[in-house]
Structure 1
Amino acid sequence: MASFDNEVVIVTGAGGGIGRATARRFAQKRAFVIAVDGDKQLAAETAETIFAEGGSALPYAVDVADAVAMENFAEDLHAEYGPPMVLVNTAGFTTAGPFLEHTLADWERLMGVNVWGLIHGSAFFGRQMVDSGRGGRIINVTSVAAFAPLPLSTPYCTTKAAAQMLTEGLRLEFAGTGVGVTAICPALMDPDSEESAEVVGLEDGVARVGNISALAARLVAHSPESVARTIVRVAARNPAVVPTPIEARAIYLATRVSPGGVRLAARILKSDNVTGLRNRLLPEKTLGRVDRFLERRLNRPE
């Protein structure tokens, strides 16, 4: 696929972060972008940004977890514009907290967006691509959490692992139809440009560890634009699995070379281990200064 000129490209989760950056990037390649988000205003803002940059886009407010809404959306879009050439599923939801503190409602929301959202898009638009005979591309944004356990993220990792296997299974099933399927697996993203994780059942000490992680992410994380560039590039090439950036590739390789080592690292980084060590080494007065420092750094404009 050498060009996206006037091709229909659907991006879910286009209201911000990776989704918005991807929608803008495809528009810069002269694609006609369908900017999908559960928030009507955010979808409209993405489309307006694309218009201002000289591109073409149409906003849609759709809950990707709603099967009926997604099916109707797919039918309406097909009737108006035909099958898409590219579908990019970036919509995602994140939680952070102990497994036993997650409610069934937390699980349902995670599964609805991170798994069923991909199933709905891939099923309805994948059928259109196959039936058209033109082929196409389905790109699912999963995560390094799909293949590496993360502390306080068991439900999130579970949904991302399911999304990863769904993507790899679809690639196998669609082989020979002209429809390529790729998993993009980002690592740390800039917390200022992505929706923060919903915190579930975390105590103050654990929340402090979360703040430290957020600050570290701000210092070393990558922007959504860097992932968007990768997505547009692989849409033209159709690789199977693309961990990005370099640290994601390192984690992916580590899970293949030494799965036990990755699990050991995750255990060491468990919040109760980290906070226990902190309580033994640091007095409460010092911890108060740490909290105030973290708050200043995380709230300071860049």
Structure 2
Amino acid sequence: MTGFEHEVVVVTGAGGGIGRATAQRFARRGAVVVVADIDKERADQTVETISECGGDATPYAVDVADGTAMESFAEDVRAEFGTPRVLVNNAGFTTAGPFLEHSLEDWERLLGVNVWGLVHGSTYFGRQMVESRRGGRIINVTSVAAFAPIPLSTPYCTTKAAAQMLTEGLRLEFAGTGVGVTAICPALVDTGIYDEGEVDGADEAAVARTLSISSLAQRFVAHSPDSIARTIVRVAARNPAVVPTPIEARALYLATRVSPGGARLAARVFQNDSITGLRGRVLPRVLERVDAYLEKKLEQRGPSD
């Protein structure tokens, strides 16, 4: 696949972050973009940004965790636009907190979005691609969390690891059909996912601080969603198997392959008990100031940023 002019591209979780940036980049390449998000208002906003630049995009509100809704969505897309040439399964959800303090409902929501969302999209749109005999690309946005454990994020890492194996299995399943399947594994990206993440645990203030610091790190340390979107568009034209991005993600991916034991040792240094204990001991007044600073920054950012 060398170009996207007039090709149909479906992007889930396109109401913001990586999804919005990806939709915008495909539109600039001449694609007909289907902008899907659970929040119709945010999908509309993405479409507005594309239309302002002369691009072609249509918003859809759909919950990727709902199999029936996704099947209907896929049918609607084919009826209106034809079979997509590219599907970007980008929608994602996160939580933070100790494993034992996550509820089954937390797990169901994480699995619903991060795993079942990919299953639903790959099933319904993948079948269309195979039946069309034109081929296509399925790009699943997983995470470095798929192969590197993150403290206080065991459920999230588990779902991303499942998404990674699903993607690699699909690549084998679809081999020979003309449908390529790729896993994009971003490192820290300023997507806003930590702003929307949920807190689980008895010490909610402490865990919430962890999410807030992660949110702040996104803005000052993380890469932009557009940098990941650029990689996704490039990958859609080529069809590699696994693409950790950017460079630190590639280094981490290689490290886990070369020395899995070393990666586990590094994770144990930051085990949950150490982190929560440190939070309880280190300069409460300083932490209060950090909280105040973070709150001020989030207020300045505003809901439309």
Q: Provide TM-score, normalisation by structure 1.
A: 0.93
Question: Are 1:255 and 2:256 matched, yes or no?
Answer: yes
2:28 maps to what in 1? 28
CA distance in structure 1 between the partners assigned to 2:240 and 2:276 by the alignment: 41
2:171 maps to what in 1? 171
Question: Are 1:91 and 2:74 matched, yes or no?
Answer: no
CA RMSD of aligned residues (A): 2.0
Question: Are 1:234 and 2:270 matched, yes or no?
Answer: no
Q: CA deviation at 1:21?
A: 0.6
| Other structure's SS at 1:177 match | coil
* 1:269-280 map, 5 Å: 269-277=270-278, 279=280
Measured against aligned partners, the alpha-carbon deviations of 1:202-227 in whole angstroms (never above 9, x if no partner) come to 62344444443433332210111000
CA distance in structure 1 between the partners assigned to 2:24 and 2:7 by the alignment: 14
- Cα distance change, pair 207–62 in 1 and its aligned pair in 2 (3 A): closer
1:224 maps to what in 2? 225
- Cα distance change, pair 275–194 in 1 and its aligned pair in 2 (3 A): closer
Q: CA deviation at 1:247?
A: 1.1
Q: CA deviation at 1:48?
A: 1.5
CA distance in structure 1 between the partners assigned to 2:70 and 2:283 by the alignment: 53
2:39 maps to what in 1? 39
Q: Residues 227 and 244 of structure 1 are in contact (CA less than 8 Å); yes or no, is this contact kept in structure 2?
A: yes
Question: Are 1:215 and 2:219 matched, yes or no?
Answer: no
CA distance in structure 1 between the partners assigned to 2:194 and 2:280 by the alignment: 31
- Cα distance change, pair 284–65 in 1 and its aligned pair in 2 (3 A): closer
Q: Residues 110 and 159 of structure 1 are in contact (CA less than 8 Å); yes or no, is this contact kept in structure 2?
A: yes
- Cα distance change, pair 238–100 in 1 and its aligned pair in 2 (3 A): same
Q: CA deviation at 1:135?
A: 0.3
Q: Residues 96 and 200 of structure 2 are in contact (CA less than 8 Å); yes or no, is this contact kept in structure 1?
A: yes
Question: Are 1:246 and 2:247 matched, yes or no?
Answer: yes
Unmatched segments (≥5 aa) in structure 2 = none
Measured against aligned partners, the alpha-carbon deviations of 1:19-58 in whole angstroms (never above 9, x if no partner) come to 1110000000000000011111111111111111100011
Q: Which amino acid aligns with 1:162?
A: A
Q: Which amino acid aligns with 1:25?
A: R
2:108 maps to what in 1? 108
Deviates more, 1:287-296 or 1:70-79: 287-296
Q: Residues 144 and 185 of structure 1 are in contact (CA less than 8 Å); yes or no, is this contact kept in structure 2?
A: yes
CA distance in structure 1 between the partners assigned to 2:16 and 2:284 by the alignment: 38
Q: Residues 206 and 272 of structure 1 are in contact (CA less than 8 Å); yes or no, is this contact kept in structure 2?
A: no
- Cα distance change, pair 205–36 in 1 and its aligned pair in 2 (3 A): closer
1:149 maps to what in 2? 149
Q: CA deviation at 1:192?
A: 4.6
Q: CA deviation at 1:291?
A: 4.0
CA distance in structure 1 between the partners assigned to 2:72 and 2:206 by the alignment: 46
* 1:127-138 map, 5 Å: 127-138=127-138
1:187 maps to what in 2? 187
Q: Residues 168 and 240 of structure 1 are in contact (CA less than 8 Å); yes or no, is this contact kept in structure 2?
A: yes
1:198 maps to what in 2? 198
How many residue pairs are counted as aligned between the two chains?
Answer: 301
Q: Provide TM-score, normalisation by structure 2.
A: 0.92
Question: Are 1:69 and 2:72 matched, yes or no?
Answer: no
| Aligned residues with identical type, % of pairs | 71
1:160 maps to what in 2? 160
CA distance in structure 1 between the partners assigned to 2:258 and 2:197 by the alignment: 30
